Structure 1
Amino acid sequence: MTVRVKLILVLTLILVSAFISISLFNYNESRKKIHRDIVNSSLPLTRDNIYSEIQTVLMRPLFVSSLMANDTFLKDWAAGGESDISKIERYLGEIQGKYGFFSAFFVSAETGKYYYPGGILKTISPEDDHDVWYYDFVSSGEGHDLDVDSNEAANNILTVFINHRLASDDGKLLGVTGVGLKMDNVSRLLKKFSEKYGKTIFLVDGNGLIQVHHKVGLIENINLRHMPGHGTIASQVLSNPAEPATYEFDFDGDRIFLTSRYIPELEWWLIVEQNETVLLDAARHNFVRTIIVGGIATLFIVVLSILVINHFQLRLEQQADSDELTGLGNRRSFERFFESAVSGIKKKSGPFSIILLDVDGFKEVNDKCGHMEGDRILKKISSIIRSCIRDSDFCARWGGDEFLLLVDGEVDLAFDIAERIRTAVADACNEDLVSSDCGEIVTVSCGVAQYTDADTLDSLIVRADKAMYESKAQGKDKVIKG
Structure 2
Amino acid sequence: MPLRSAFYSQRSLVLTLVALLGAGFLATSLLSYYASRASIRDNIVNTELPLTSDTVYSEIQKDLVRPILISSMMSRDTFMRDWVVNGEKDSDQMTRYLDEVMTHYGAYTAFFISNSTHTYYHAKGVLKQVKIDEPRDAWYFRVRDMKDPYEINVDPDLANKDNMTFFINYKVYDYNDRFIGAAGVGLTVDAVIKLIDKYQQRYQRSVYFVDTFGRLVLTGAEGGPEGAPVGKSLNDLDSMKSLVSQLPKPHSGSYEYSAHGQGHFLNVRFIPELNWYLFVDKREDGALSEIRQSLYLNLLICLLVTLIVLALVNRLIRRYQEKIHAQATLDSLTELPNRRGFDLLAVQALHEAHREPKPLTALLLDLDHFKVLNDTYGHMAGDQVLIGFARDLQSCLRHSDIVCRWGGEEFIVLLKDTDGETGQKIAEKIRQHVEQHEYAYNGHTLNLTVSIGATTLQRDDTLHSLLSRADHAMYRAKQTGRNRTCVEMPHSTYA
Q: TM tier, shorter chain? A: 0.5 to 0.7
Unpaired runs of at least 5, structure 2: 1-6, 311-495
Q: Does 1:276 align with 2:284?
A: yes
Letter in 2 for 1:233: L
Q: Does 1:69 align with 2:69?
A: no
Deviation sequence 1:42-90 (CA, Å, 0-9, x none): 1111111221221233333222212211223322333444343222211
Deviation sequence 1:170-208 (CA, Å, 0-9, x none): 333211111112233333233222222221112222223
1:121: Cα distance to partner?
2.6
Asked if structure 1 preserves the Cα contact closer than 8 Å seen for 2:119 and 2:130, the reply is yes
Q: Counterpart of 1:146 in 2: which secondary structure?
A: strand
- Residue 359 of structure 2 corresponds to none
Asked if structure 1 preserves the Cα contact closer than 8 Å seen for 2:213 and 2:249, the reply is no
- Residue 265 of structure 2 corresponds to 257
Find the aligned partners of 1:123 and 1:6 in 2 and give their Cα distance. 95
Deviation sequence 1:92-127 (CA, Å, 0-9, x none): 111111111011011222333322111233333344
Asked if structure 2 preserves the Cα contact closer than 8 Å seen for 1:258 and 1:272, the reply is yes
- Residue 114 of structure 1 corresponds to 120
Judge which range, 178-187 or 208-217, deviates more: 208-217
- Residue 236 of structure 2 corresponds to 226
- Residue 389 of structure 2 corresponds to none
Asked if structure 2 preserves the Cα contact closer than 8 Å seen for 1:184 and 1:216, the reply is no
Counterpart of 2:182 (choices 173, 176, 182) is 176
- Residue 33 of structure 2 corresponds to 27
Asked if structure 1 preserves the Cα contact closer than 8 Å seen for 2:46 and 2:254, the reply is no
Asked if structure 2 preserves the Cα contact closer than 8 Å seen for 1:113 and 1:123, the reply is yes
Same amino acid, percent of matched pairs: 33
Asked if structure 1 preserves the Cα contact closer than 8 Å seen for 2:212 and 2:250, the reply is no
- Residue 293 of structure 2 corresponds to 285
Deviation sequence 1:287-343 (CA, Å, 0-9, x none): 11222232258689x9xxxxxxxxxxxxxxxxxxxxxxxxxxxxxxxxxxxxxxxxx
Judge which range, 176-185 or 258-267, deviates more: 176-185
Measured at CA, do residues 52 and 226 of structure 1 come closer, stay the same or move farther in structure 2, by a change above 3 Å? same
Find the aligned partners of 2:150 and 2:233 in 1 and give their Cα distance. 23
Q: Does 1:36 align with 2:46?
A: no
- Residue 212 of structure 1 corresponds to 218
Find the aligned partners of 1:9 and 1:137 in 2 and give their Cα distance. 80
Q: Does 1:185 align with 2:191?
A: yes
When normalised by structure 2's length, the TM-score is 0.54
Letter in 2 for 1:274: K
Find the aligned partners of 1:10 and 1:131 in 2 and give their Cα distance. 83
Judge which range, 153-162 or 208-217, deviates more: 208-217
- Residue 357 of structure 2 corresponds to none
Measured at CA, do residues 135 and 192 of structure 1 come closer, stay the same or move farther in structure 2, by a change above 3 Å? same
- Residue 387 of structure 2 corresponds to none
Unpaired runs of at least 5, structure 1: 303-482
Counterpart of 2:61 (choices 34, 55, 65) is 55
**Quick check: which has more Rg, 1 or 2?**
2
Asked if structure 2 preserves the Cα contact closer than 8 Å seen for 1:205 and 1:268, the reply is yes
Measured at CA, do residues 116 and 299 of structure 1 come closer, stay the same or move farther in structure 2, by a change above 3 Å? farther
- Residue 345 of structure 2 corresponds to none
Letter in 2 for 1:156: D
Find the aligned partners of 1:252 and 1:8 in 2 and give their Cα distance. 44
Find the aligned partners of 2:256 and 2:22 in 1 and give their Cα distance. 34
Letter in 2 for 1:28: Y
Q: Does 1:248 align with 2:285?
A: no
Q: Counterpart of 1:39 in 2: which secondary structure?
A: helix
Asked if structure 2 preserves the Cα contact closer than 8 Å seen for 1:249 and 1:257, the reply is yes
Q: Counterpart of 1:230 in 2: which secondary structure?
A: helix
Q: Does 1:158 align with 2:164?
A: yes
Asked if structure 2 preserves the Cα contact closer than 8 Å seen for 1:208 and 1:223, the reply is yes
Find the aligned partners of 2:222 and 2:155 in 1 and give their Cα distance. 12
After superposition, the CA RMSD in angstroms is 3.0
Asked if structure 2 preserves the Cα contact closer than 8 Å seen for 1:92 and 1:104, the reply is yes
Letter in 2 for 1:249: Y
Find the aligned partners of 2:81 and 2:152 in 1 and give their Cα distance. 22
Q: Counterpart of 2:232 in 1: which secondary structure?
A: coil
